[in-house]
Amino acid sequence: MLSQVNASSSSSMNAASRNASVTSLMVCCGYIACWSPNVISFFLNLIGVVKMDLSGWFYHFTVVLVQLSSCINPFIYAAKYRDFKTGVRKMLKKNIGSVAAAG
Instruction: Give per-residue pLDDT as tens, 29-48.
Output: 999 999 999 999 999 999 99
Instruction: Give per-residue pLDDT as tens, 65-87.
Output: 999 998 998 888 888 888 888 88
Which domain covers residue 86, as residue numbers? 76-103
Q: Let me know if residue 82 belongs to a domain.
A: yes
Q: Let me know if residue 85 belongs to a domain.
A: yes
Rounded Cα–Cα distance for residues 69 and 27 (Å): 9
In contact, 80 and 26? CB cutoff 8 Å: yes
Q: Let me know if residue 92 belongs to a domain.
A: yes
DSSP state of 48: T
**Residue 47 amino acid letter:** I
Q: Let me know if residue 36 belongs to a domain.
A: no
Q: Let me know if residue 80 belongs to a domain.
A: yes
Q: Let me know if residue 16 belongs to a domain.
A: no
Q: Let me know if residue 101 belongs to a domain.
A: yes
Q: Let me know if residue 21 belongs to a domain.
A: no
Q: For 67-74, which contacts have Cβ atoms below 8 Å and span 24 or more sequence positions?
A: 68/34, 69/30, 69/31, 69/34, 69/35, 72/30, 72/34, 73/27, 73/30
Q: In total, how many domains does the chain have?
A: 1
Whether this model's pTM surpasses 0.75: no
